[in-house]
Amino acid sequence: MPLISIIIPIYNLEKYIERCLKSIQSQSLDDFEVIVVDDGSTDESLNICKQYAQKDSRIVIISQHNGGASKARNSGIAVARGQYIAFIDGDDYIEKDFLEKLYNAIRNSNYRMSMCGFDCVDECGNSVRSPFPQNYIPDSISGYDAAAYIGNTMPFGVVWNKLYDATIFKKIRFQEGKTFEDELILHHLYGECDSIACVKETLYHYVQRAGSKMTESYSPSKMDIIDAYMDRLLFFVDHSYEQSVIDRDRKKLMEFFRIAYRKKGGNTEQGKKKLHILFLQYKKQVYPLFITHTFEEWVFVHCPNITMQIKSICRRLVK
């Protein structure tokens, strides 16, 4: 059995997948399997991966109908044989000691998760944002505190700069059919860890490309961030988080609802229906959690369609 299972979801990544696979094959720690989950690609991505698999027995390929990154990752988890699991997106790439340093961090600390710094690069590998190592990552952090940073500090809000004890996924899976899948699962993963070992080095390269989820215009799927914040608020209340953390995410949740109403749920019937369902979910599950509410929260629950108008008026009065 391999020590580490690397799960790579791919969908139409023919321009990038070779760089990703080459960076994995060059790892200094070579006791791993690579589970490539093709999510119904219509380009040459699958054929490229098959060529690599023919030459490297560590590479396993799963093909499925298009169902999104969450479904692809879950498919990979289901067949993973490693003691540890890592997720790498097919358009990203890693440093040669990514696995070794994350594994050593777990082994030396006896924790169930480790994480490292990363940088944001364009399709050619040029930096588009400063790295996230030393100033953002401590030597170690509790799972409790890591969850509080999810929506506030990027290294804690993504799944791919980490190595996980595979037993963490015995009861936890990604929510399928959702975008912002990382934000929907991470607080639950952190909840399984007393502490997390941190490596203060940039070992992962996140490729921010045109046409990716991060750069697309507003669509109904963007509202999944609302779902993520509501789920996290329920988690925070259930685990007795500090009021300042809860209040911060309550404020951000209202901001995302304001954006959704301003954009009219993506200006489609599907989006408007989805926004209404999210509003009802908030009104039933989240709003009753709190004894006191801000003026904006009260107005939103009772008159959601005029929330944006009131906010606009308040801004004008301040000016």
The SS3 assignment for 62 reads strand
Residue 214 within a domain: no
pTM for the model stands at: 0.91
Cα 289 to chain centroid distance, Å, stands at 26
In terms of residue numbers, what domain contains 312?
220-318
Residue 212 within a domain: no
- Please list the alpha-helical segments (H only) found in 153-263: 181-190, 224-238, 243-262
Domain count, the chain: 2
Distances (CA, A) of 228 to 5, 167, 189, 256, 260: 27, 23, 14, 11, 14
Question: Using an 8 Å Cβ cutoff, are 57 and 2 in contact?
Answer: no
Domain endpoint, select from 177, 207, 237: 207
Q: In the Cβ-directed half-sphere of 142, how many Cα atoms lie within 13 Å?
A: 4
| CA–CA separation, 66 and 64 (whole Å) | 6
Kindly state the DSSP code that residue 282 receives in the 8-state scheme: I
| CA–CA separation, 236 and 241 (whole Å) | 5
Domain endpoint, select from 207, 235, 256: 207
**Same structural domain for residues 108 and 225?**
no
**Same structural domain for residues 85 and 172?**
yes
Q: What is the rounded (10 degree) CA torsion for 22, 28, 29, 31?
A: 50
DSSP labels, 160-187:
TTEEEEGGGGGS--PPTT-SSHHHHHHH
Residue 213 within a domain: no
The SS3 assignment for 60 reads strand
Cα 72 to chain centroid distance, Å, stands at 14
DSSP labels, 101-149:
HHHHHHHHHT-SEEEEEEEEE-TTS-EEE---STTT--SEEEHHHHHHT
**Same structural domain for residues 168 and 119?**
yes
Give the pLDDT confidence score for residue 128 in this predicted structure. 83
**Same structural domain for residues 193 and 226?**
no
The SS3 assignment for 216 reads coil
Which of 211-226 are b and which e, b meaning 16 or more Cβ less than 10 Å from the residue's Cβ? eeeeeeebbbbbbbbb
**Same structural domain for residues 202 and 239?**
no
Question: Position of tokens 């560590």?
Answer: 58
Give the pLDDT confidence score for residue 312 in this predicted structure. 59
Cα 128 to chain centroid distance, Å, stands at 20
Strands 84-87 and 4-10: parallel
**Same structural domain for residues 243 and 199?**
no
Residue 271: Cβ within 10 Å count: 20
**Same structural domain for residues 247 and 199?**
no
Q: What is the pLDDT along the chain (319 residues), one digit of tens a residue?
A: 999 999 999 999 999 999 999 999 999 999 999 999 999 999 999 999 999 999 999 999 999 999 999 999 999 999 999 999 999 999 999 999 999 999 999 999 999 999 999 999 989 888 887 666 556 678 889 999 999 999 888 889 999 999 999 999 999 999 999 999 999 999 999 999 999 999 999 999 999 877 555 556 788 999 999 999 999 999 999 999 999 999 999 999 999 998 998 888 888 899 999 999 999 999 999 999 999 998 889 888 888 777 656 555 555 555 5
